[in-house]
A and B are shown apart, each in its own frame.
Chain A
Amino acid sequence: MSDSIISVQDLRKVYRVGELDVAALRGANLEVPKGEFLAIVGPSGSGKSTLFYILGGLAKPTSGKVAVGGEDLASLTDSGRTRLRRSKVGFVFQRYNLLPTLTALGNIEIARYIAGRQTGPLDKSFLELLRLLRIENRLDHKPRALSGGEQQRVAIARALVNHPAILLADEPTGNLDTENATAVLDVLRDLNERLGQTILMITHNPEAAAYAHRTVRMRDGRVLDN
């Protein structure tokens, strides 16, 4: 499928732990068209996060084909994967992962700086996004002064500041209460609908998965057909 933004074929990943080989992915296949909001579910240890790390350029595939936005990840060097993370991918984690010493705005700006050495005022459409995320008044707060829901929305803003081709959200609502989780999911759906942002979201929660267009299931390092 040539209009896929993500194309994964027979992807394998083996972690080496001391003398032991741990196979996290055992021949996963996945096609994601541009603009899709995809939910990924599956039992713990089935390889969901590993798939994200490879798609996001944080880990090297052991074998198989992976392409993101037409770029073949298997052949990328370390610095190539660094470039991929800067330009094509935005990560959102379960544990928010904001830098604790910087304010919300500082977290957003450092991401922009790392990606493109850009400084100066944020553009209009991004300010719009901050309003959509309802964090425009919380920007000078340090993470510890923000609620979990707010931190996660700041993390989403940070992931999107460089206009990535794909947003990878690994259990973004896993640490949130229902109200905050709903707010975050609403925002993700909004982003997808209004801006056409491609989103992949790992979740254990069927209600969260219901927000997506489509849900795929993983088991034992494979994506199950449905």
Chain B
Amino acid sequence: MINRLVFENLRHRKVRTGLSALSIGFQVTMILAIVGLSQGMLKDSADRAKGVGADIWVKPPSTSAIQLSSATMPEKMLDAFMLQPHVIRAVGSYTVPLSGLSTLTGIDYQKFTGLSGPFKFVEGGPFQGKFDVIVDRWYQETYHKGVGDTVKALEKEWHVCGVVEPGKLARMFVPLATLQDVMSNPGKVSQALLKLDNPKETFAVISALKVELPEYKIYSVEELVSQFSVENVPGLKAFINVIVGLSIIVGFLVVSLTMYTTVLERTREIGILKALGASPGDIMGILVRETLLLAAGGWFAGILLSFGANWAINHFVRASIQSVITPDWWPIVAAIAVVASLLGALYPGMRAARQDAIEALSYE
């Protein structure tokens, strides 16, 4: 019965109910989008790292697994790696950050495909000229560049010679020698990718390498991929916390305002309920239920909106940012919506519960 009253009250002021739920929904979406983006981009990086097919990754000192390493590794080291037992291929790559989150990666085409397997070309083929670039299909879809088009990067014009399926190391590949030239950093690479004759030997080889190269960061592919988490991106966790905090505050304010207006507007009805024998707890209970319904509506709307945001990101800008749906965060955002809303309902609710019945009944 109380539930019917609660429901009818919300239905009675459809627009306000809708707008409040939608504002809570946007808070929920904002959190889900940030988390979805973080996890989506980390997953994409991890997928591309796995897609290479290397068993061991060697990065120069003073970097972490997920940071771009500066190219301080002499190419000669690759030959030394080849002398290690079980290492059958050692390939260098050179990654240069461009604007935003995109990067340009230099590879030796023969050696890289020797380790990683051939590229799956959607159109075009391997490098022909010095300033050729191979892009992946997502890049093509986002930037509408195909074979024959030019791409500007590092103040040079690169000719797209091929478009490949995504999932291997990077989105834009150029010849390693060209990139070393352009960067005036000849003979250097930013990481080495090792392939073993038997993956079971990975840890033995890593141990051996660590003895010889104590300063270097040496990861198995599993170790590397496990590093792609929110915790390991500097500042990301804090950023997410700030967004969550802001969402709670905004949700609190929205619900406060809605409930405060509702309580004022319904002063008389609260008086009636008291005359019928409603206790302060009953009155509070009604407002809490209304608030919980708003929060639930907002939560649901927020999840729907997050599917929309996810689709838009993956459809329009997939080359630069990626997003995933994160159902493990749905209960968390539900809790956030509920906490923010209940905090918002607290003061208006207490005011209503304490309202003097006689004054309320004579309220115009």
Residues on A facing B (Cβ under 8 Å): 53, 56, 58-59, 78-79, 82-83, 85-87, 91, 93, 97-102, 106, 109-115, 119, 158
Contact = CB atoms under 8 A, between A and B. Distances in A.
A110 B358 contact: no
18 contacts: A56-B275, A58-B357, A82-B274, A82-B277, A82-B279, A85-B274, A86-B276, A97-B275, A99-B272, A101-B5, A101-B8, A101-B12, A102-B4, A110-B276, A111-B276, A112-B1, A114-B273, A158-B276
The B interface is mostly helix, strand or loop, or mixed, namely helix
Contacts of B278: 82, 114
Contacts of A97: 268, 271-272, 275, 361
A53 B271 CA distance: 12
Interface in B269-300: 269, 271-280, 282
Nearest to B11: A101
B10 to A, nearest CB: 9
A97 B270 CA distance: 11
B98 interface: no
B280 to A, nearest CB: 8
List 10 tightest A-B contacts by C-beta distance, closest first.
A86-B277, A113-B1, A101-B8, A85-B277, A101-B12, A82-B279, A58-B357, A111-B276, A97-B272, A91-B275
Contact of A58 (B11, B12, B358): B358
A101 B357 CA distance: 19
B276 A100 contact: no
B350 to A, nearest CB: 15
A1 B52 CA distance: 99
Interface in B1-30: 1-2, 4-5, 8-9, 11-12
Interface residues of B, number: 24
B2 A113 contact: yes
B1 A110 contact: yes
Interface of B: 1-2, 4-5, 8-9, 11-12, 268-269, 271-280, 282, 357-358, 361
Nearest to B10: A101
A82 B279 CA distance: 6
Nearest to A79: B279
A221 to B, nearest CB: 16
Given A114-B277, A115-B276, A99 B1 contact: no
A114 B268 contact: no
A100 B12 contact: yes
Contacts of B274: 58, 82, 85
B357 A106 contact: no
A59 B358 contact: yes
Contacts of B272: 97-99
Given A58-B357, A93-B361, A100-B12, A106 B4 contact: yes
Nearest to B12: A101
B5 A110 contact: yes
